[in-house]
Structure 1
Amino acid sequence: MSVTGDQIAALRRAMAWDGAASSDFDLNPETLLPAGRILRPAGVLVAFLPGENGLELLLTKRSPRLKHHPGQIAFPGGKVDPGDDGPVGASLREAREEVGLPPESVELLGTLPPHETVTGFEMTPVLGLVRDDFTEIPEPGEVAEIFRVPFAHVTDPARFIVQQRRWRGQWRRYYTVPFGPYYIWGATARILWALSKRMAA
Structure 2
Amino acid sequence: MSLFFPPASATSSPSSPCIRVCRIDADGLCRGCLRTGDEIARWSRLDEGERRRLMETVLADRARERFRFLEQLREHDRVSGVLHPLRDPPGGDGWNRSELDDLLPREASLAEAAVLVGLVPRDAGTQVLLTRRTDALRHHGGQVSFPGGRVERDDAGVLGAALRESQEEIALAAAQVAPLGYLDPFLTISGFRVTPVVAAIDPDYVPRPHPDEVAEVFEVPFDFLMSAGHLHQVEMEFRGRRRSVLEYDWPGQRIWGATAAILYNLRRRLEEGA
TM-score, normalisation: structure 2: 0.66
Unaligned runs of 5+ in 2: 1-71
1:57 — aligned with what? 128
Alignment partner for residue 137 of structure 1, among 208, 217, 227? 208
Comparing 152-161 and 37-46, the one that deviates more: 152-161
CA contact (8 A) 2:144 2:254 kept: yes
Change (3 A) 1:143 1:32: closer
> Once the two structures are aligned, what percentage of the paired residues are identical?
36
Distance 2:265 2:160 in 1: 22
Distance 2:177 2:164 in 1: 11
Alignment partner for residue 250 of structure 2, among 179, 182, 190? 179
CA contact (8 A) 2:104 2:191 kept: no
Aligned to 1:193, the other structure's residue is in SS state: helix
Question: Is 1:70 aligned to residue 138 of structure 2?
Answer: no
Distance 2:159 2:102 in 1: 30
- Pairing of 1:69-108 with structure 2 (within 5 A): 69-108=140-179
1:79-132 Cα distance to aligned partner (Å, 9 max, x none)? 011110111111100111111110121111111121110111110000000135
1:22-50 Cα distance to aligned partner (Å, 9 max, x none)? 23x65x47735313101100010000112
Unaligned runs of 5+ in 1: none
Q: Which is higher, the Rg of structure 1 or of structure 2?
A: 2
One-letter code of the match for 2:240? G
CA contact (8 A) 1:46 1:58 kept: yes
1:200 — aligned with what? 271
- Structure 1 position 13, deviation (Å): 2.5
Please state which structure has a larger fraction of its residues in helix: 2
Question: Is 1:170 aligned to residue 241 of structure 2?
Answer: yes
Alignment partner for residue 197 of structure 2, among 114, 119, 126? 126
Distance 1:93 1:158 in 2: 34
Relative contact order, higher structure (CA 8 A, sep 6+) = 1
2:180 — aligned with what? 109
TM-score, normalisation: structure 1: 0.89
2:105 — aligned with what? 34
1:56-89 Cα distance to aligned partner (Å, 9 max, x none)? 0000001111111111100000001111011111
Aligned to 1:180, the other structure's residue is in SS state: coil
- Structure 1 position 157, deviation (Å): 2.6
Question: Is 1:12 aligned to residue 83 of structure 2?
Answer: no
1:113-160 Cα distance to aligned partner (Å, 9 max, x none)? 211101111100000001352221011111011000001011223321
One-letter code of the match for 1:161? H
Number of residue pairs matched? 196
Aligned to 1:158, the other structure's residue is in SS state: helix
